Structure 1
Amino acid sequence: MERIIGFIGCGNMARAIIQGMTKSKTVSPKNIIASDRVQGSLDFVSKECGIDITANNKEVAQKADILFLAVKPDGYQRVIEEIKDRVKKEVIVVTIAAGQSIESVEKNFGRKVKVIRTMPNTPAFVGEAMTSVCTNEKVTEKEKKEVLRLLQSFGKTEWVEEKLMDVVTGTTGSSPAYVFMMIEAMADGAVLRGMPRDKAYKLAAQTLLGSAKMVLETGKHPGELKDMVCSPGGTTIEAVAALEENGFRHAVMKAVVAATDKSSSLA
């Protein structure tokens, strides 16, 4: 019998994960059930992916072999209190919220449960998520591989120590927003100099995509790749000087630190 994958919460991140699982055929839609307080969210994902839906969190908890808690951090305690006596004894609980430690999840359940803490990001919508993962000692190697297979259906995964999960939030969980802002800013600059906006967005987005791929596939240091573009006295070094003058790198570093600190405060 195939395992049932349950989702409590069906917002953007949960929908992205469900779409990844079903589009890749990693999981059959008939083996996924989701609940949410917003009926519109459930109707949308049911129509898009063909999964079972319910407004009852307890129903999901009773059926799920692998249970994704896809609610906001401030909803964890309430939801776990609601379902803790309904989950299966050997359920694998997968968390995707910032700031929710394995210890806090166990404490809310009132017992040791199998917990896999993850931090995915929204590029899951296009199969390019970066998901960091850690677990408690109750999760077996076989179960780790099973959940990794689910997570890899919508992107890449990386094992990290739990003490780094707040840093992960600042580096990958929140950072798509930084990248989107950069694309928007690059396009705005192009529009300022006369380029049509649709072309500006396409050119900027493809350039960031290609640049990221160069880092991943060449293995070269980002600084070395930057230097390859910067001809002496050329346009690129002029642009880099302008970025440095306006604190570009410092601003990005501060953004990562700010998101990390906020994640730590949610515990």
Structure 2
Amino acid sequence: MTDVSVIGCGNMGSALITGLSKAGKHTLTACDLDPDALEAVAEYSSTTSDPDVAAESDVVIIAVKPDIVGSVIDDLDLSADQTLVTLAAGVSTDALEDRTDATVVRIMPNLAAETANMAAAVTQHSVTDDVRELLDDVGEFVEIDEQQMDIATAVNGSGPAFVFYLLNAMKEAGVNGGLDEDEARTLAAQTFKGAAETVLQSEESIEDLIDAVCSPKGTTIEGMNVLWDSDADQAVIDAVGAAENRSRELADEFEHE
């Protein structure tokens, strides 16, 4: 079993702890100064408010805000045989490697780690087998060049919020048509889940999958005509672009702090 600690038990840190605990293959330690945050994950891992205790693990995951990740790492005494995993948007491995003797791996996960449905990106130049195993236990991941991390941050890191927005719109359409809110929520959420799983398992293009649902003169083609005539796709592209630009801004802020 791999000894793993997570420093910072906010939304993302707690999601990783929960997901990894369900795999049953790791010894987990949660570290946070907030007793309420520790209480929330106490059933999934051991807890501590002492970073020195967390620093004893084979893999140390830093799940704190980008503006404090440097100071947190500076206070950790890690050795060359340990792995430091950072989740901080806009903070490169180069910016952290001089602060620690550990191998630095940068990942961009998302909250679906809690249910083992996470999409994550990881720096291919520094990823270790231990980190690959951790990521595999909580979802799917891709290994990318670090220069692509800003766009990955936008697509899979920020992406769940964009999907929730679209899912909520479908739910509201169902409610407006007379469905009970819980019924509409279930139908919309399961539809997104099923469509995503179809994309992952199919070798067909997304465009071909759309065509497969659109029968001539049927209901779906009528709805798709509305979407094709709108700027909905461009709005999503712009949202991803805005998140990507913010990731770059965070990198500049960290480098000039």
Cα deviation for residue 113 of structure 1 reads 3.5
Cα deviation for residue 3 of structure 1 reads 4.4
Contact 2:121 2:141 in 1 (8 A): yes
Contact 1:230 1:236 in 2 (8 A): yes
* Higher mean C-alpha displacement, 164-173 vs 228-237: 228-237
- Superimposed CA distance per residue, residues 107-157 of structure 1 (whole angstroms, 9 cap, x where no aligned partner): 4x0x554111111111111111011111545x6xxxx22221111111112
1:106 matches 2:97 = yes
- Superimposed CA distance per residue, residues 44-67 of structure 1 (whole angstroms, 9 cap, x where no aligned partner): 111x21x22111223322x12211
1:116 matches 2:105 = yes
* Higher mean C-alpha displacement, 243-252 vs 66-75: 243-252
1:64 matches 2:64 = no
- Identical columns (%): 36
Query: Match for 2:151 among 167, 172, 186?
Result: 167
Amino acid paired to 2:7: I
**Mind listing any 5+ residue stretches in structure 2 that lack a counterpart?**
252-257
**Mind listing any 5+ residue stretches in structure 1 that lack a counterpart?**
none
Q: Which residue of 2 aligns with 1:37?
A: 33
Q: Distance in 2 between matches of 1:43 and 1:128?
A: 24
Contact 1:115 1:136 in 2 (8 A): no
Amino acid paired to 1:68: I
Equivalent pairs counted in the alignment come to 251
Q: Which residue of 1 aligns with 2:254?
A: none
Q: Which residue of 2 aligns with 1:131?
A: 120
Q: Distance in 2 between matches of 1:172 and 1:3?
A: 26
Secondary structure at the counterpart of residue 4 of structure 1? strand
1:23 matches 2:25 = no
Contact 1:102 1:135 in 2 (8 A): no
Q: TM-score, normalised by structure 2?
A: 0.92
Contact 2:59 2:82 in 1 (8 A): yes
Q: How does 1:128-207 map to 2 (within 5 A)?
A: 128-136=117-125, 144-207=128-191
Query: Match for 1:79 among 68, 72, 83?
Result: 72
Contact 1:134 1:160 in 2 (8 A): yes
Q: Distance in 2 between matches of 1:101 and 1:152?
A: 22
Secondary structure at the counterpart of residue 266 of structure 1? helix
